[in-house]
Amino acid sequence: MAVIVGLLTSQLALLLTTLYLHRALAHRALVLKPGTAFVFRALIWLSTGIKPREWAAVHRRHHAYTDVPGDPHSPVLEGYWKVQLWNVGLYKKAARDPETLRKYSRDIKVDAWDKALFDRGWLGLLIGLVVLWATLGWQMALVAAGTHVVSYLLLNAAVNAIGHKWGRRPYPGLATNNQWLAALTWGEGLHSNHHAAPTSARFALASGQLDHGWWVLQLARKLHLLSVRHDEVHLTALAQGGQVYADQEQDPELV
């Protein structure tokens, strides 16, 4: 039971990671209603303690220097096992670099909520643990929290490690598609697709590819919780190779 709660918590955190941190903030493929953004931000804080502007900056640097020196977490540069098992350390190192933040997350401002609450990642995690404790009792809460932490860290790391090492490469570059990883990460395993069209809110680019994060987005769109800026991907241009933007408005700094 505690393990199932832990796995469900990590799936919720992975869904928020792909929708909020990745597709909405880092690539601006979605526009969230203010209430939606606040709920996503609070839930990311409680389940991961991540500071969104740091995540967006580190991720944008990954797109700017994919698998070349400057990439914060490339298995080509660091080796597969280091990224798979120590992604969090590589992430922290990049997130502490003021130059990375200055260059890649200028558009994400620090506000009063950050100063009061959300910049204290440890506090979010502590409150999250207390919620589990109050619901499940302390022994079950510790097992659930431990399962969540291990599952969340390993699956996020797998997108960076396996997603640049093994799998199909339908588009130029070293990023790969793995359906099984996409199934566990709400579509993030379609990483070759994502690097080919980074500003697309939709990661599945061919029939039979699984991006259930996109299905959740469609539902949220119907409920007027958000709107999608970029989802039309120019497959002909993609097939010719090179990076493709979902439309011409894209600011290259956000890619």
Least distance to Zn ion from the beta carbon of 166, Å? 13
Window contacting Zn ion (CB under 5 A); options: 115-123, 168-176, 200-208, 221-229: 168-176
- Taking the least distance from each CB to Zn ion, the nearer of 175 and 196 is 175
| Length of the chain measured in residues | 255
- Site mask for Zn ion (CB under 5 A), range 60-79, x = bound: --------------------
| Nearest-approach distance from CB 45 to Zn ion, in angstroms | 21
Using CB under 5 A as the binding rule, the residues of this chain from 173 to 202 that contact Zn ion are 175
172 φ, ψ (degrees, to nearest 5): -60, 155
Shortest CA distance to 191 belongs to which of 206, 208, 207, 174? 174
Between CA 84 and CA 90 the distance in angstroms is: 10
Q: Which stretch binds Zn ion (CB under 5 A): 29-37, 85-93, 112-120, 172-180?
A: 172-180
CB of 104 to Zn ion, least distance (A): 12
Q: Do 155 and 184 form a contact (C-beta atoms < 8 A)?
A: yes
How far the first Cα of the chain sits from its last, in Å, is 41
- The size of the interface with Zn ion (CB under 5 A), counted in residues, is 1
- Alpha-helix runs per DSSP H in 119-207: 121-136, 138-161, 179-184, 191-196
Interacting stretch for Zn ion, rule CB under 5 A, among 5-13, 29-37, 105-113, 169-177? 169-177
Backbone dihedral angles phi then psi of residue 109, each to the nearest 5 degrees: -80, 150
Q: Residue 142 Cβ, how far from Zn ion at the closest point, in Å?
A: 33
Q: Contact residues for Zn ion (CB under 5 A)?
A: 175
